Chains A and B, each alone.
Chain A
């Protein structure tokens, strides 16, 4: 499904019809080759049969190549990645490839430039070209819309119209690969990473299809090294890949898509829902976001392993975080470390005064919010997390000065309470993690009136509670290390049987109408 950034309201039916018509028109204009490609692989999602066939074909050819053909394998993956993207939108696949090639050339220039000023100019060119791309595709509608409103409010004539969703096609994964390209240019400038000599190796860094559309955000220093290594078939690695993929598939199909059945009808029409239903829908939404994005990341990591690559872990049981700072060390780790390294620390990090640190945290989180989506609700979501981080920083100082209180917080009961409170705060903030700001306000208003009548959940809440308990138990088992110990002692047959059960359960529990990945919109 194409994704659009806008602030112009359209009814769901109007938008769906217009999108369909636009898609048909767009594909009619594409070359026959890409039209056929689109028919074969209509969606860039990992949990579809067509992707499974695509991946099986790529992996078969990849491993059939002699292992000495490192460049051949890299080319194969570049071509496969290009086709993976082009099946969704051929023109944008060319655009992404072209901008990546530009980044490659600029980085070579940064490294080769004799003078610091030239290096700075080339780095700025690379960063600005990527930010420009991001701004044009993702934020143009938002900022022009806001400017239009402002000028109208001031009584002026904007002399331009607001953009409709149909005017703006946001390329899948643009926020991810632009951040990867920016970090690469900055790292080359700082001398942390050497500029890649080989274009196909660099293209693979940007285009590698497992991480192309929704991360994890990889760093050049980590990934490019891997592209030059000889890849040998390794059963342990295959097992790790399969395990990650199955875990991700289960999270996506059995948890995220099922939770969407509870949350979406309520949160998309909160005016008609009862307070109780909204509370439960917010719980379902919290579970859904986690399972959806961490499931996608797990699948991406698993697929990369199956091709001999290691991607950075993106999640580490985030809902067991005892405070919001810890939450951000466990949630979307590749983004939070990116923001830390390329926004928070360059702003001064925590080296300055307390006030400066608070400011840096707020700026970083506001930008992080805006990164997720071009609407005010994502900015507010980022701001809320900024406030929570600042609040926690001060609370931590307060507690540190009181050893008795601090010790109490560190007890098992204290930790459980902190985990619960953090989950509660994060879940409330998720209310803004949707494009519609006004709906988010209505949701909060109705939640805290507690007993408003209205539509109940579309399904019996029992399934939601079971899912919440299963997620909690799995978190606790994983955090205690019990799961890993048990798993490592099982005989091979039992492990394989377990994998099959996970896959069967995922297929059985998946709702008929699958959902897109939430993070594909970012």
Chain B
């Protein structure tokens, strides 16, 4: 009886340790999708598109949800078989730090874009308190290749990395919500569901969103982000962290021989109502300084699209995204002259 009990307990502990170890090993070797489904799904799609379009140059866009929703490569004419191929690699919530993480991940995962478009948006340069990108980036999405960025740009990096290492060592507990969201999202309450971040990604990486809004919804959407951005701009500054990350990203693009351009997404004039004059001045100062320091191409699309296409003042409706993407695609040969010509610069 006692021997049976002792063996049962030993078997319990051994099984638990073995299961945990197996999961640790499996997750370490698992495709990126298991850690970060939003990134992982786009990576898989990007590889597929590269296979579909061999020899054509790929321009990959990095940025926030504004890019994720607003850049719509699938809307480009199907017969556009020449010129560079646009792919939407934006991650919701991205500022310069997450853009840098995403770029480094692409290289680590063996994907080398032919050029990158990097969203430049003053709002997400304010990396302070709850507005820091670290607050928008779930610890469990981290991969080993992100460790350097965390050390360089995240506040309280040692604690975050310690928590992350503990989480890595106990995946049974820490990855369960991720697993639920990927496997049985319907079993989660609405507040716990994050699968919308990747389940609505189309084959070109765009996060599908509203095609249109009614008058009533337009009124509701108008101020849906007001509290967040008013709070953000109340003590606005273009943070040193964001500036450093952006410059580092551009430096690493140059080091890798990948041409880069800054992309300023379409803005709604109404968005500026949330910005006090001091914030407007500081944002303009940073942009001016950056342009002076780094003579790189900039696509300024801020006034390309009518405000009616930005009902929440931040994100484009699908028709607006299509219009923006068409115009952006036309701009690419100007920004990246190496892709001009009938073959799109293909060898």
**17 A–B pairs (Cβ distance < 8 Å), ordered by A:** A235-B6, A238-B5, A459-B188, A460-B186, A460-B187, A463-B187, A492-B6, A492-B8, A495-B4, A495-B12, A496-B13, A496-B14, A497-B12, A499-B12, A504-B16, A507-B173, A511-B192
| CB closest residue in chain B, given A236 | B5
For A235, what are the chain B residues with a Cβ–Cβ distance below 8 Å?
2-3, 5-6, 9
Contact yes or no, A508 B6, CB < 8 A: no
- Note all chain B residues with C-beta closer than 8 A to A513: 192
Are B11 and A236 in touch, CB under 8 angstroms? Answer: no
Contact of A497 among B11, B188, B190 (CB under 8 A): B11
CB contacts under 8 Å to A, within B6-33, are: 6-16, 19
The reply to whether B5 and A493 form a contact with Cβ atoms under 8 Å apart is no
Q: Is the CB–CB distance between B172 and A504 below 8 Å?
A: yes
Main secondary structure of the interface of B (DSSP, over half): helix
A234 sits at the interface (CB 8 A): yes
Q: Mark contacts of A233-260 with chain B using CB atoms, 8 A cut-off: 1 yes-contact digit, 0 otherwise.
A: 0111011001000000000000000000
Min C-beta distance of A185 to chain B, whole Å: 39
Does any Cβ of A come within 8 Å of B78's Cβ? no
Q: When chains A and B are docked, how far (Å) is the Cα of A508 from the Cα of B23?
A: 13
Shortest CB-to-CB span from A277 to chain B, Å, is 14
Q: Quick check: is A289 within 8 A (CB to CB) of the other chain?
A: no
B254 within 8 A of A: no
Beyond A236-B2, A458-B190, A500-B19, is A508–B7 a contact (Cβ under 8 Å)? no
Chain A residues within an 8 Å CB radius of B5: 235-236, 238-239, 492
Bound CA span A463–B173, Å: 21
Q: How far is the CB of A486 from chain B (nearest CB, A)?
A: 14
Contacts of A236 in B (CB 8 A): 1-2, 5
Tell me the minimal C-beta distance from B191 to chain A in angstroms.
Answer: 8
Q: Is there a chain B Cβ closer than 8 Å to A440's Cβ?
A: no
CA distance A504 to B12 in the complex (A): 11
CA distance A513 to B192 in the complex (A): 9
Cα separation A238 to B2 with both chains bound (whole Å): 10
For residue B189, CB closer than 8 A to chain A, the reply is yes
Whether a CB of chain A sits under 8 angstroms from the CB of B159 is no
Q: Looking at the complex, which one of A265, A459, A510 makes contact with B187 (CB distance below 8 Å)?
A: A459
B172 contacts A507, C-beta separation under 8 Å: yes
Which residue of A239, A507, A512 is within 8 Å of B9 (Cβ)? A239
Complex Cα gap A494–B8 (Å): 8
Q: Which has the most chain B C-beta neighbours within 10 Å: A458, A500, A503, A513? A: A500
Closest to A265 in B: B189
* A242/B187 contact (C-beta < 8 A), A497-B15, A500-B16 known: no
5 closest A-B pairs by CB = A496-B11, A492-B7, A500-B15, A496-B12, A239-B5
Residue among B11, B173, B176 having the largest count of chain A Cβ atoms under 10 Å: B11
Chain A residue contacts of B189, Cβ below 8 A: 261, 265, 458-459, 511
B172, A512: Cβ atoms under 8 Å? no
Give Cα distance in the complex from A512 to B180, angstroms.
10
Q: Max chain A CB contacts within 10 Å: which of B5, B6, B180?
A: B5
Q: 15 additional contacts, CB 8 Å, given A459-B189, A507-B173, A513-B192?
A: A239-B6, A239-B8, A242-B9, A242-B12, A265-B189, A492-B6, A493-B7, A499-B8, A500-B11, A500-B12, A504-B16, A504-B19, A504-B172, A511-B192, A512-B192
Question: Quick check: B186 and A238 within 8 Å, CB to CB?
Answer: no
Assembled-state Cα–Cα distance A398/B8 (Å) = 51
Interface string of A462-490 (1 = CB under 8 A from B): 01000000000000000000000000000
The answer to whether B4 touches A492, judged by C-beta atoms less than 8 angstroms apart, is yes
Tell me which residues across on chain B come within 8 A of A495, comparing CB atoms.
4, 8, 11-12
Identify which of residues 330-386 in chain A touch chain B, using a CB-to-CB cut-off of 8 Å: none
Q: How far is the CB of A501 from chain B (nearest CB, A)?
A: 8
Which residue of chain A lies nearest to B20 when distances are taken between CB atoms in the complex?
Answer: A504
B10: chain A residues within 8 A (beta carbon): 496
The one of A494, A503, A510 in contact with B176, judged by C-beta atoms closer than 8 angstroms, is: A510
Please give the distance in Å from A5's CB to the nearest CB on chain B: 29
Instruction: Tell me the B185-201 residues at the A interface (CB within 8 Å).
Output: 186-190, 192
Q: Which residues of B contact A458 (CB under 8 A)?
A: 189-190
Min C-beta distance of B165 to chain A, whole Å: 15
**B residues in contact with A493, CB < 8 Å:** 7-8, 11
Q: Which residues of A contact B186 (CB under 8 A)?
A: 459-460
B177 at the interface (CB under 8 A from A): yes
Tell me the complex Cα distance, A459–B180, Å.
14
Q: How far is the CB of A455 from chain B (nearest CB, A)?
A: 12
Q: Which B residues are CB-close (under 8 A) to A499?
A: 8, 11-12, 15
In chain A, what residue has the closest Cβ to B179?
A: A508
Docked CA distance A351–B291 (Å): 95
Q: CB-CB < 8 A to B13: which residues of A?
A: 496
Residues on A with C-beta less than 8 A from B4 are 492, 495
When each residue 394-427 of chain A gets 1 if its CB lies under 8 Å from chain B and 0 otherwise, what string results?
0000000000000000000000000000000000
Of A261, A265, A492, A503, the residue contacting B11 (CB under 8 A) is A492
Distance of A459 Cα from B1 Cα, bound (Å) = 45
Q: Which residue of A lies closest to B14 (CB)?
A: A496
Docked Cα-Cα span, A507 to B23, in Å, equals: 14
Instruction: Determine whether the beta carbon of B16 is less than 8 Å from that of A503.
Output: yes
CB distance from A30 to the nearest CB of B (A): 23
Query: Chain A residues near B173 (CB, 8 Å)?
Result: 507
**In the complex, chain B residues whose CB is within 8 Å of the CB of A510:** 176
Report A-chain residues with C-beta under 8 Å of the C-beta of B14: 496
B8 x A496 contact (CB < 8 A): yes
Pairwise interchain contact B16-A507, C-beta atoms closer than 8 A: no
A508 CA to B5 CA in the complex, in Å? 26
- Across the two chains, which residue of chain B brings its CB closest to A501? B15
What chain A residues lie within 8 Å of B12 (beta carbons)?
A: 242, 495-497, 499-500
List the A residue with the shortest CB-CB distance to B23: A504
Complex CA gap A512/B8 in Å reads 30
Complex interface: chain A residues within 8 A of B8 (CB): 239, 492-493, 495-496, 499
* B176 & A496 in contact (Cβ 8 Å cutoff): no
Chain A nearest Cβ from B106, distance in angstroms: 30
B187 in contact with A508 (CB, 8 Å): no
| Bound Cα distance A503, B19 (Å) | 11
A507 to B179, CA, bound (A): 12
* Shortest Cβ distance from B16 into A: residue: A500
Q: A463-B187, A504-B19 are in contact. Are A496 and B9 (CB under 8 A)?
A: yes
